[in-house]
Amino acid sequence: MNIAVIGTGYVGLVVGACFAESGNEVVCVDNNSDKIAKLEMGHIPIYEPGLPELIERNVRDHRLTFTTDLKSAVQKSKIIFIAVGTPTTSSGAADLSAVYAVATAIGKAMNEYKVVITKSTVPVGTADTVRDLIDKETNLEFDVVSNPEFLKQGAAVDDFMRPDRIVVGTDNPRAAEILRELYAPFVRTGSPILVVDIRTSEMVKYAANAFLAARISFMNEISNLCEAVGADVDMVRKGMAADSRIGSAFLFPGVGYGGSCFPKDTRALIQTGREFTTPMRILEAVEAVNNDQAHRFVNRVIDHFKGKLKDKRFGVWGLSFKPRTNDMRDAPAIRIIEQLLRKGAAISAYDPEAMEEGKRIFGSRIEFAPNNYDCLTGADALLLVTEWQEFRNPNFERIKAAMRNPVIFDGRNIFEAGHIRDLGFTYFSIGRK
């Protein structure tokens, strides 16, 4: 099949490469000409395990191309995915301007029947507006389908290749059949393709993300209570996870969720609730708890140093919002570092993949170390913010030798408290004794 994917970001690039890998001819479109030029030269703009090999192979075999020319991409493709960004507006709602601009451009470019698919995460009712916008521009036949994406950054290729489920929102059997055919190679192990109406499909994505965010905030709140009452959240978590009705995923307390999805999607769903006079009270609390969590972490640092951070220097391990990605959108590290800078602290940071992004965000306001040990030279404390695998088993003697004070604030509970204290560190973690 000939496919156009419009928006070549974290989602569009993975979706395009994976569809090419299953034999389709895919053209990825973006209005960022710099990004397209780099991709054409073989430079992959994001860090995503497994993605470079996939792109290289499919470009070489002429199944995957890149362009800024939306019109020609639309004209040679029967299937068109819209995968542009839907960031948060000041009200908390999703900004749909890019989705709508693309819909109008597709309408203008139409030359024959197309299936236009909203892959971006969009509020209920968006596909109807996309249909109206295309309809204004053309008399040709087309279908609009909602097909939300559930991939996780850091495991995006695997998730796309082996999805838990595919959700297709359409009221048209012809469009449903095209999507079934397109996804057949990805569901050979029996994952379901759920064909539902468009509004239900749009809602599934928000409900899933909001629920995952709620689990995180719930555990963060439980961890705060554990600290207050003298319980150990690690064992509480294990005790909960053993219950098959609960399961073990998304039960880890920390410095709060971040990234380009959970914060934005919970806010957008809260906003949809307001619009439809159906307040999302649980989600409002989920967001409030999350906003507090990074503050609590910083306050612990402030309390330990008795409010005097002006002459203090902190080594921060991890900038990306989670391991295995270079994405820092809405990352807790930003909130934490900004608060410490406001208090006058000096920061040195290290991240295995997000250094370039960190430099773009902080410029010369913080230092960037070439590795996690140099990051701690003369530091008054190590602040562990992102749980990269390589941080889990470091050389603690080397850490201690580099630091001015052997103090660790572990924002992800990756170290074993007893062991660290035996080594002579002052150690703080989340919700543990």
Active site residues: 261
6 binds ligand NAD (CB under 6 A): yes
Task: Give me the least distance between CB of 356 and ligand NAD, in Å please.
Answer: 15
Q: Which span (30-38, 220-228, 242-250, 292-300) binds ligand NAD, by CB under 6 A?
A: 30-38
Helices (H), 61-197: 70-75, 97-109, 126-137, 156-161, 173-183
251 binds ligand NAD (CB under 6 A): no
Among 96, 151, 286, 385, contact with ligand NAD (rule: CB under 6 A): 151
Closer of 220 and 260 to ligand NAD (Cβ):
260
Helices (H), 233-386: 233-241, 262-275, 281-304, 332-342, 355-362
What sign does the dihedral 136-140-146-152 (CA atoms) show?
negative
Helices (H), 146-261: 156-161, 173-183, 198-229, 233-241
321 binds ligand NAD (CB under 6 A): no
Is residue 84 within 8 A of residue 6, CB to CB? The reply is: yes
Cβ-in-10-Å burial (0-12, 13-18, 19+) of 44 comes to middle
Let me know the angle formed at the C-alpha of 215 by 235 and 165, rounded to the nearest 5 degrees: 115
9 binds ligand NAD (CB under 6 A): yes
Is residue 3 within 8 A of residue 65, CB to CB? The reply is: no
Task: Give me the least distance between CB of 258 and ligand NAD, in Å please.
Answer: 12
Task: Give me the least distance between CB of 86 and ligand NAD, in Å please.
Answer: 4
Count of positions on this chain that bind ligand NAD (CB under 6 A):
26
Closer of 260 and 339 to ligand NAD (Cβ):
260
Among 1, 44, 59, 98, contact with ligand NAD (rule: CB under 6 A): 98
Among 1, 2, 25, 32, contact with ligand NAD (rule: CB under 6 A): 32
Closer of 262 and 305 to ligand NAD (Cβ):
262
Residue that is written with structure tokens 């409900």 in the block: 207
Residue 22: phi, psi to the nearest 5? -90, 15
Task: Give me the least distance between CB of 317 and ligand NAD, in Å please.
Answer: 23
What is each CA distance from 13 to 55, 101, 157, 328, 360, in whole angstroms? 9, 20, 10, 18, 22
- Extract the tokens encoding 388: 């990269």
Task: Give me the least distance between CB of 152 and ligand NAD, in Å please.
Answer: 6
Task: Give me the least distance between CB of 196 and ligand NAD, in Å please.
Answer: 18
27 binds ligand NAD (CB under 6 A): no
Q: Taking the CA of residue 348 as centre, how many other CA atoms within 13 Å lie in the half-sphere pointing to its CB?
A: 20
237 binds ligand NAD (CB under 6 A): no
Closer of 102 and 133 to ligand NAD (Cβ):
102
* Residues of the shown chain interacting with ligand NAD in the complex, contacts defined by CB under 6 A: 6-12, 29-32, 35, 83-86, 98, 101-102, 120-121, 149, 151, 153, 260-261
